[in-house]
Amino acid sequence: MAIDWTQIYEKYKGLWVALKDDEQTVISSGKTLREAIEKAQASGFQNPIMHRVPSQLIPYVGGITL
């Protein structure tokens, strides 16, 4: 099932985010991976899902190497 991360992108673009297991709920965010992990661990989440939100969306259509 596809997950809509539109709201996450709009609010956290360019940042690292720690997500709950549902892959939709943001636990913490930070400019660095370390900052986001430390905030998540301080909130009681030892192994969150980490994701770097791109600063801009660039369309990509798969290519073929010839």
So what's the pLDDT on residue 57?
A: 83
Please report where in the chains the tokens 């939709």 appear, as a residue.
Answer: 24
Whether the pLDDT of residue 66 is over 60: the answer is: no
**At 49, is the secondary structure helix, strand, or coil?**
strand
Rounded distance, CA 40 to CA 23, Å? 14
Least Cα distance to 26 among 14, 39, 34, 66 occurs for 39
pLDDT bin (cut points 50, 70, 90) of residue 64 is: low
Q: Which residues, 6+ apart, have CB-to-CB distance to 65 below 8 Å?
A: none
* pLDDT of 3: 86
Reported as a single tens digit per residue, the pLDDT across 28-62 is 999 999 999 999 999 999 999 999 999 988 877 77
- Cα atoms in the Cβ-side hemisphere of radius 13 Å centred on 63: 4
Confidence of residue 11 (pLDDT cuts 50, 70, 90): very high
**What does the domain layout of the chain look like in residue ranges?**
6-52
